[in-house]
Amino acid sequence: MCGRYVSATPPDQVAAYFASEAPEALLVPSYNVAPTKDVYAVVSDGSTRHVDAFHWGLIPLWAKEAKIGSRMINARAETLAEKNAYKSAFKRRRCLIPADGFYEWQKNAEDPKKGKKQPFFIHRPDGEPYAFAGLWEVWRGPERDQEPLRSCTIITTTPNEPMAQIHDRMPVILPPSAWDTWLDREVDDLELLGKLLVPADPSLIVMHPVSTEVNNVRNDAPSLTDEVAPGP
């Protein structure tokens, strides 16, 4: 899964990288983005890309309460076309979620049921941001009289070789060559779209152990990404 990541690049730089218009709502840079927080996502209106703020945790159109989004921070690539919560968005409402890197936790190798998990920070070797494949939705509530809430989810897939050393899932990372197809709302060929949802090239993955301070969502500082000696 992908449950924490870093979003600290200034929004104007994010917009430039994705050839998008900059966001109107500015978010505070974070080195420990947690579920249910507002995050940046890149969407397209058919002619222009935009960077906008979305609630992390997709809230389906049919949901009675917004809190269901806390259980939908990730969507498995293998079942997008089948799940009621995602299949409509998979056809028409896809996005890119920029990330400077993400965290994943490795279980104790000797006894997975015991001991603290070791967190790792994963990032690109060139320092450029990842483009996570995502879906977005607009929820208006059961009474239809409240302010629309835009939400998103990060799509995950099976791990590539380096990621398999620490976890059995990883976010789908889309290369620039796939961005136009993924964001195009006129593309609804699910077989074509599904072929994009594959493990990233191993060359895009660099990782190192970091402090368990990242476990606490209240901790948020650049030092969270610093390399430390791994635990036992």
104 catalytic per annotation: yes
Is residue 232 predicted with pLDDT exceeding 90? Answer: no
Q: Give mean pLDDT, residues 78-89.
A: 95
Q: What pLDDT is attached to residue 107?
A: 85
In the chain, % of residues over pLDDT 70: 96
5-214: CATH topology is: hypothetical protein yedk fold (3.90.1680)
* pLDDT level of residue 118 (50, 70, 90 thresholds): very high
Question: Which two three-digit tokens encode residue 8?
Answer: 């600290």
Domains of the chain by residue range:
5-214
* CA separation for the pair 68, 64 (Å, rounded): 8
* CA separation for the pair 126, 210 (Å, rounded): 19
Which of 21, 95, 104, 128 is the catalytic position?
A: 104
Q: What pLDDT is attached to residue 112?
A: 57
* pLDDT level of residue 92 (50, 70, 90 thresholds): very high
Residue 50, number of CB atoms within 10 A of its CB? 17
Mean pLDDT, the chain, rounded, equals 94
Of the given ranges (65-69, 168-172, 227-231), which has the lowest mean pLDDT? Answer: 227-231
Whether the CB-CB separation of 156 and 76 falls below 8 Å is answered with yes
95 catalytic per annotation: no
Position with higher pLDDT, 34 vs 1: 34
Question: Which two three-digit tokens encode residue 33?
Answer: 């983005």
DSSP string, 61-118: TT-SSGGGGGG-SEEEGGGTTT-TTTHHHHHH-EEEEEESEEEEEEPPSS-TTSSPPE
Q: Give mean pLDDT, residues 219-227.
A: 98
* CA separation for the pair 190, 195 (Å, rounded): 9
- pTM for this one? 0.95
Which of 2, 95, 137, 152 is the catalytic position?
A: 2
